[in-house]
Each structure stands twice: as C-alpha cells, then as structure tokens.
Amino acid sequence: MEISTIGLDLAKSVLQVHAVDGDGGAVVRKTLRRSQVLPFFRKLSPCVVGMEACGTSHHWARELAGLGHEVKLMPPAYVKPYVKRGKTDANDAEAICEAVTRPTMRFVAVKSPEQQAALSLHRSRNLLVKQRTQLVNMVRGLLAEFGVETPRGLHHALALSSKLAEGEAAAVPALAQRVVAALARQIEALQVELIAIEKEILAWHRSSDVSQRLATIPGIGVISATALAASVTGPQQFRSGREFAAWLGLTPLQNSSGGKERMGRISKMGDKYLRRLLVVGMTSLVRRARVNPACVNPRINDLLARKPVRLATVAMANRTARIVWAIMARGETYRRPNHHQLGRMIS
C-alpha cells in the first residue's frame, strides 16, 4: 500500500484520516485517537499531509514533520468548497486530502513553539482587557444609578476602583457598596495581571530582532510589533506588500464584471486581532497629528483634510501593513519616506 497524500481532520479527542495513493484512489479511511496518531504515521513512508489551520494544527504539524512527512496547513475557508456533502469528519478529511493537492491552494506557515507562546500572552492580555472594560462599565452603571458620576478615562476608573476597594463609596447604600467593592477588587486584580503580562511581552520584544525593527514604524508600538512578529512565520510566503495587506483583510473588496471595476469596503477576511492593532495604532497617530502636527509626516494632515477620519486610519493601516511586510521580508528598519514617496502614498 503506497500512500502519497493524507487528509487529516483534527478534533479534540479523535482524528480522522483519509489517505490516497498516487492515482488518487482512497486506500485508508479510519479514525484515530490522539495516542494512536504518531504510531500510525511512524509506520508510513514520507508523504504529504494536509490539515486545516486551527488551534492544535501547528503542534501536529511539528510532530509529523519530525517524522519526515511534508505537512501543509490550509485556511479552513479554502477547504470548505471541497466538501461534497454534509459535514462529517470523514467528509472533511476527504476534502482536506483533495484541497492540499490543488496547485493554486494557499498554505499557512507552521509556527514555532516560541511564537505560539508569545501569541498566548497576547490572547491572555486581550481577554483580560475585555474583562477589565466590562467590570469598569458595570461599576460606572451601578454608581450612576445612585447619582454618582465617574470621570471618563482608564486612569480615573483605576483610581476610583482603588477607593471603592477600600469601602469609600459615598451616597451608596451599604449593600450596593459591598457589590461595588467586590467588583473594584476584581478590577485591581486584573490590572496586576495585565502589568505582569505586558512585562513578559516587553521582554519578548527585546529578545526579538524582528519585533524591534517593526517598532521603528510610526504608529507601531511594542504590542503591535510583538503580535506581528509572532504571527507571521515566513513573510516570503507573500509575493508583495499588497498580498500581505489582503491577508490582514485591509484591502477593498472587488465586485467587477464586464470590464467594470468596482471597489467596496475592506474585506475584513484576515486576522482580526492584527488588523485591529494596526487601525488602533494609526488612530493614535492621527490624534498625535492633531495635537502636534510637526511630529508626524506633514501629508497626514492633508489626508485628514480630504478624507473622513475612519477612512484615513484604515487607509494608513493598509499602507503600514505593506511597510511591515517590506521590513520583515528584507530585514531592514523603517526609513522616513521622502517628499515624492509621501505624495504617492496619499494620492
């Protein structure tokens, strides 16, 4: 039995295998438990193994590549068209096996354990920030019911939470004071965890040459630089900066027919977290331009005069994504563009 290609559908406890020979005929259809996966592949001659990119795919890709197999990860959205009938593990594995052989298929680079560890810091930080925001809004709402107005801004909310944790809640009934104090203690605990995680991210940033070079780009800070460095394994998989921006979902959707090209809103089909970080970074750059126009590129103010703020920040994020790709692919640092390049950038 000569196996040339395998489609492996991943799950939490069981994995589905669909293997074909050189002529495309199915030779193996079976379900494996996690403990059976490596012994099964250890017995096989090196072959192509296709998987959908998901939470556990990078681990299995490293394990199977260590056994000599050629592992290829694919975005699930690109595999879905090959599912012929209803969604089952067997049908999914067959679709993966067929999709991995397509010459136009796009693949996902396998991340290293260090990159996944860095991304775990970002996911944890993102979750804690959301929880902190929810708690702060809850405290604001409870206090507002008793006529207590809370100043806007995170530093005001953190200062108030420390007071509330000590039981200082004027004009609030005793029962509500206990509830608000409990929420305030949770906010303080989250803030401690966030500071510890951000110190870990900063340490990773200082140890990563790619992250430090990305941080030289205006509007890219430590958080954005480390997230980009940990998420993009091989920038060479993208042929151009525009392809990288499209991967992030920052390029406009096309609706063209009969020779007429129509460009719509951005696709938003890529990594939502990275895209949000870039847009937030450009938003901070716009705010900086309004406070101190001399500290940013002079053409940014011209762009803001002609375009709405949100459109301008997304357009700047698109452009910044292309700069990120160029720096990562060429091993360079950011260089401030000359006047000719600035004019071309915003025209």
Indicate the pLDDT class of residue 170, thresholds 50, 70 and 90. low
90 touches 194 (CB < 8 A): no
Quote the pLDDT of residue 347. Answer: 38
Q: Is residue 174 over pLDDT 60?
A: yes
Residue with tokens 């089909």: 269
Compute φ and ψ for 174, nearest 5 degrees: -60, -40
Q: Is residue 307 over pLDDT 70?
A: yes
Mean pLDDT check: name the lowest of 8-12, 182-186, 303-307, 313-317: 303-307
Give the separation between CA 95 and CA 78, rounded to whole angstroms.
Answer: 10
Find residue 74's DSSP bridge partners: 52
